[in-house]
Structure 1
């Protein structure tokens, strides 16, 4: 379950993150030239939070010996909360699932990191780092359950009005999509839906079919600055809607 007392701020990072507005990073290929903004550092809780607050997220290299890579896409994939596309079939399918939050975070991460999955990128460093963030109340899982069995879900980082989605998985059809619907519902219940950000890193054809759009980096950073001032959703340890 989410930390009812709210997330715990870790020790500050020893690394500094620059304002990336209008910044371009050098790289060896077209994708890295635009989106890769740094290499190295660590993935301590304070470093991860500082990165997200600057619009940056980590991904490991091909080998554990490679330095951590840090990205801030020039064209950021985001899902506007009022534009989630839920088909009739998905709406019907959603009735067969129960949505839970933070009851099996480690299992969700392990499923997302399954090496049998194509294009897998989650290594032991990432699992350990986000496990620590979860323990502090910053990283969360959204889970789809069926017949009391975890069958799909996603995980990400929640800071104020930002939810930075990292990865998702499914064991039965539509389970990950239903988890996404549950996440959007929780974010909308928190209010200020036009200011909250559901970040999915990059737009893909699959995500676009669900309503994901691209936002220019500078625009994203401006929105992020406002979103971070918002309260957390209650399911992630934010204030209760019944609070005075």
Structure 2
């Protein structure tokens, strides 16, 4: 049992004057409570509680330890209450980093509801088509279009899947023809999103077969809206 639980058990014993009552409050058996109290005294190397057939009372050292332990546990409860209150009613600044396209299409539509729900939070959206350093720029949440982060201390959560689709406008195909083989793609004018995984490789699969084609860009950008336009 951890030290906090031992301390809490001892405080209950001191306040109630009863080991059985303390055991009941801690939801443990009398035997378990007695072992834990003995373990606490053994670890401290002092006698905290004296018992006789009629009552239980604290030693002088036990009385001093009780005062300090009760104060420590009160501070711990206050700290937990403060954290719980902050979780229910957060304050401060939430700094979010994402690409301009993602910010416009996915983050911006949520901001009104979020600020109404958490009016004490200031939201700062850093719409950047480059991957800012999360630590150096004090970013709380970064939406990334890649699977890994160079900094191993960053916690990564997979939010959704995205895929690249090979497309062309009818006007382009009318002018340049429709590629009939993968090798012909190397002769076509491609627009590349540079933040994609392996942006200069196109991987095609059919059944159990797969083939990767190296491509060059006529135009490349770190923003999908530019490529789409």
TM-score, normalised to structure 1's length?
0.19
User: Relative contact order: is structure 1 or structure 2 higher (C-alpha 8 Å, sep ≥ 6)?
Assistant: 1
Q: Higher helix fraction: Structure 1 or Structure 2?
A: 2
Higher-Rg member (1/2) = 2
